[in-house]
Structure 1
């Protein structure tokens, strides 16, 4: 049975979460009707994350990895994953497992009718400070681009690979994946998914990269949207 989906998991100093990722995904793979595998993207970790990733992947075809030489950021990690994936579908989830891979099956049930199916977090289990940062960032984005996306920060997503490979990339792109799919006239379904407290490791986000950088990147997206090229070929004759 061939793999249908590859799930990108960016990793930056998440050594305390990797054993749990392995056990959770191994159990999920045994129960899901969709044949899937994990692609770790080690974003220049400075702890022992990569050693553990290599150990997990050794002799296990359900787990693969890419390792960056230096820390490049979340958008670069997602782009590298998309660039290297060959399965029909791409999944995405964060290494903190504040969302669960079991909810991928909810998204997969709808994916044949949409270019992407994305989650939005129901009862958020974040700290008050993190909730405030997220509200500010989402308010900025919705006010400036009005894309109709409920929770762009929710990491749980399933996207058709051919659609993902057409997404224009820039630093901060991870905040605008649904909006960038809409630029392709893609259809997106949003589904409520579970959310959990972070039980290991530390968040890499703060008020600066959640709000101030988000504001800057939103203006970059607005410029791109105003200049975006989109066309449909009706007929063609091209000699090979």
Structure 2
């Protein structure tokens, strides 16, 4: 349930967005429909350097919803930076994310959040995995190749890291080493920290309006470097030593 006290929240929903003016209002309504009556929650939109009416549309809705917050990046910094800004500002112990283009259905948020909440501290990430993906054949092919290569190297057991629908404990996320592209490697990094991963099949949808802000070839080589950087981090991880304080008594 949304709270009359905006600081009293259990769950924070973070939505990174750039030039998605036509998708703002419908998506917020769907998020509210999915979460009202279940949790005290807030919605944090991270406006990643939009040049359209996205900020104005958010401002109009904020006048009606006291649980909607807006964070601005003066210039576009990318999806990982936007997610991190939102998580750092979040007041909830559990954070859930979804893309701002409307392709991620908020109806799956309760399952993702509940998986973390009921995980007894073992679940570091609840990840959506898309079925019936609404994308071009080329995009589907490039995703299959990228996921296969990543899984072969990192052994993260995840077939779809590109889905924006995720939930995790806020503190666990903020403990991750930050780099551009972090959001695509969360399963491997959470496993590195000893957490389990929960998976939820989600139905992909067509974009409601606008065009995609994320390309493939502009991220290809950076993604390859990120992949081997994460591999290195995993290889260098050592078990956390058991520390025992020694005290002396007279």
- TM score, norm. by length of structure 1: 0.90
Q: Which residue among 190, 199, 202 is the counterpart of 1:181?
A: 190
**C-alpha separation in 1, matches of 2:164 and 2:238:** 27
Secondary structure, in 3 states, of the residue corresponding to 1:115? Answer: strand
Any conservation in 2 of the 1:11–1:42 contact (CA below 8 Å)? yes
Report the alpha carbon displacement of residue 127 of structure 1 after superposing the two structures with TM: 1.7
Cα deviation, 1:19-65, whole Å, max 9, x if unaligned, reads: 212222232233x5122221000111111211212222235222111
**C-alpha separation in 2, matches of 1:22 and 1:85:** 17
**C-alpha separation in 1, matches of 2:237 and 2:210:** 39
Say whether residues 1:126 and 2:135 are aligned partners: yes
Match of 1:161 in 2: 170
Say whether residues 1:24 and 2:24 are aligned partners: no
Any conservation in 2 of the 1:15–1:52 contact (CA below 8 Å)? yes
Q: Which residue among 55, 58, 61 is the counterpart of 1:53?
A: 58
Say whether residues 1:141 and 2:150 are aligned partners: yes
Distance change >3 Å, CA 84–CA 228, structure 1 → 2: farther
Cα deviation, 1:93-115, whole Å, max 9, x if unaligned, reads: 00012121111111233222122
Any conservation in 2 of the 1:116–1:157 contact (CA below 8 Å)? yes
Match of 2:86 in 1: 81
Any conservation in 2 of the 1:91–1:159 contact (CA below 8 Å)? yes
Say whether residues 1:10 and 2:19 are aligned partners: no
Match of 2:229 in 1: 220
Any conservation in 2 of the 1:137–1:211 contact (CA below 8 Å)? no
**C-alpha separation in 1, matches of 2:52 and 2:31:** 22
**C-alpha separation in 2, matches of 1:93 and 1:184:** 23
CA RMSD between the two structures: 2.0
Report the alpha carbon displacement of residue 136 of structure 1 after superposing the two structures with TM: 2.1
**C-alpha separation in 2, matches of 1:192 and 1:72:** 29
Match of 1:106 in 2: 111
Secondary structure, in 3 states, of the residue corresponding to 1:37? Answer: strand
Report the alpha carbon displacement of residue 71 of structure 1 after superposing the two structures with TM: 1.1
Secondary structure, in 3 states, of the residue corresponding to 1:218? Answer: helix
Secondary structure, in 3 states, of the residue corresponding to 2:185? Answer: helix
Secondary structure, in 3 states, of the residue corresponding to 2:69? Answer: strand
Structure 2, gaps ≥5 residues long: none
**C-alpha separation in 2, matches of 1:53 and 1:230:** 45
Any conservation in 1 of the 2:93–2:169 contact (CA below 8 Å)? yes
Report the alpha carbon displacement of residue 210 of structure 1 after superposing the two structures with TM: 5.2
Count of aligned pairs between the two proteins? 237
